[in-house]
Structure 1
Amino acid sequence: MEKSPSLSEKVYLSILVFLAWFALIFQFYLHLNSGAAAKAELLIRFFSYFTIDSNLLVAICSTSILLLKSTSIGKFFCKPQVVTAISVYIIVVALIYNTVLRFLWVLEGWSMVLNELLHVVVPFMFLIYWIYFVPKHRLQWKNLWLWLIYPLVYTVFVMIRGSYSDFYPYPFLNVTKFGLDKVLVNCVIITVLFAFLSLLFIGIGRRKAKLNQVMD
């Protein structure tokens, strides 16, 4: 039987769920009404951003834990392996944006607010959730390989679609501008980042498990 979330966990998740869905829905509205392309194209482009997809995973995961814990989808998203994988994805979003992409665009008004929510606030809050509320003792080194599937599938999708649409959601994936060789190098570097963070999170979990065994 799944343990019900504590009051503090429920309050924290409620805030996280609200902020994540607010940012995603409002950003979707602004994006779809930007006039940058046809509506159908803008719809596809919106879900072509790893930032959006990862924040969507955070929103679905947090909502499932908060409201649907006894359901099959809730039980799936309650798994420490799943929460940890999503934590890695959203932290990669924050790291890459704040170290590589932040100064490429000048944003104002709601766009700036939503940008901070999606790239800083939600990632940081989900990391805090993982630190304080997620049991980590069952994490295993082999989890790494499953966790890398999502970024790999995403990259393949972007590369294939970009080859005929010439739209690449991030500059470092732009084959037209930088060439395939340079983009592949960028992909390898990002994959190493995913792997490093995954192993770091797993290592933290395994160390905590050992400490618990010693204390027992």
Structure 2
Amino acid sequence: MPYRYRPLAQFSALLGWFGLALQLWFSVRLKLDHGGTTIDGVWLYLGYFTILTNLLVASVLTAAAFDTRAALPRFLQRPGVQTAAAMSIVIVSAVYNLMLRQLWSPSGWLLVADMIVHDFMPPLYLLYWWLAVPKGSLRWSQALAWQSYPAGYFTYVLLRGAANGWYPYPFLDVKSLGYGQVVVDALAVLVAFIAVALLLVALGRWQARRRNGAVAEAA
């Protein structure tokens, strides 16, 4: 990553981890207030796609913020991984703002945490992706490969729900909707994932061609 974009990655990573820490604190406090344990709070926290995706995004930004040759940071800096994270954080913001925001009214520090993970991190990460991620290696086939992440999350939600009866989102609530409707809902969201992935690949390839053309003209 060009050095001039490292401050953006550092700031975005710090903001992302701060928002995640706030969310974790509220999750643990909620469970403790209802007679649960800290482990219960962590388990609740890890049930949300928003949290898992923000963890991915914060990890990608942290890897980009520091110059290291360790295996995991190098993996996270792959253009395909960084673009898959962009796809996922776009869906986080879109689903929350279109389907979930009206379901509750957080205030105080909970509102701050909510805004960081749903409103601030998506555009910040997309800005980082647009400016700093090399995209010449992106391929159309990757858009389908990236769907293993939301598909894996869907399987995870169904297994968790079958075990304890809790589902993190209304459109995935098997108890209220039944498996058939939940599968239909999940497929609709998957179509949105694929559409966003294809759009990002198209934009990335266009940007790479444009930059290559500018370099050739300068030479």
What TM-score bracket applies, with the shorter chain setting the length?
over 0.9
Match for residue 3 of structure 2?
Answer: 6
Mean Cα deviation higher: 63-72 or 140-149: 63-72
Instruction: Point out the more displaced range, 65-74 or 195-204.
Output: 65-74
- Give 1:38's match in structure 2, choosing from 36, 39, 56: 36
Name the CA shift for 1:75/1:174 in 2 (closer, same or farther; >3 Å): same
Q: Which contiguous aligned blocks of 4+ residues in structure 1 show a shift greater than 6 angstroms?
A: none
How far apart are the structure 2 equivalents of 1:114 and 1:69?
Answer: 29
The separation in 1 between residues aligned to 2:68 and 2:47, in whole angstroms, is 29
Q: 1:27 aligns with which of 23, 27, 32?
A: 23
Rounded to whole Å, the distance in 2 between the matches of 1:45 and 1:146 is: 28
Query: Bigger CA drift: 29-38 or 128-137?
Result: 29-38
Percent of pairs identical after alignment?
31
Q: 2:211, 2:55 → 1: CA distance?
A: 33
Separation in 1, partners of 2:146, 2:34: 34
- CA positional deviation for 1:11: 1.3
Please show how residues 76-115 of structure 1 align to structure 2 within 5 Å: 76-115=75-114
Give the TM-score, by structure 2 length.
0.91
Alignment gaps of 5+ in structure 2: none
Whichever residue aligns with residue 175 of structure 1, its letter is: V
Measured at CA, do residues 60 and 214 of structure 1 come closer, stay the same or move farther in structure 2, by a change above 3 Å?
A: closer
Tell whether 2:41 aligns with 1:18: no
Kindly indicate whether the alpha-carbon contact (under 8 Å) linking 2:7 and 2:65 is maintained by their aligned counterparts in 1: no
1:76/1:37 Cα in 2 relative to 1: closer, same or farther (>3 Å)? farther
Structure 1 residues 147 and 103 mapped into 2: Cα distance closer, same or farther (>3 Å)? Answer: same
Deviations 1:5-39 (A, max 9, x none): 313x1211121011101011121011101124622
- Equivalences, count: 212
Residues 18/105 of structure 1: CA separation in 2 closer, same or farther (3 Å cut): same
Cα root mean square deviation, aligned: 1.5
Matches within 5 A, 1:109-188: 109-188=108-187
Relative to structure 1, the CA distance from residue 211 to residue 51 in structure 2 (aligned partners, 3 Å threshold; closer, same or farther) is: same
Q: How much has 1:211 moved relative to structure 2?
A: 3.5
Query: Which deviates more, 163-172 or 30-39?
Result: 30-39
User: Does the CA contact (< 8 Å) of 2:27 and 2:44 recur in 1?
Assistant: no
- Asked if the contact 2:134–2:208 (Cα under 8 Å) also holds between the matched residues in 1, the reply is no
Measured against aligned partners, the alpha-carbon deviations of 1:81-107 in whole angstroms (never above 9, x if no partner) come to: 111000101110000001110110011
What CA distance in whole angstroms lies between the structure 2 residues aligned with 1:210 and 1:32? 48
Output the CA distance in 1 between the equivalents of 2:206 and 2:60.
25
Go from structure 1 to structure 2 and tell me whether the alpha carbon gap of 1:12 and 1:146 turns closer, same or farther (over 3 Å shift): same
Letter of the aligned partner of 2:114 in structure 1? N
Give structure 1 stretches of 5+ with no counterpart. Answer: none
Matched with 1:52 is: 51
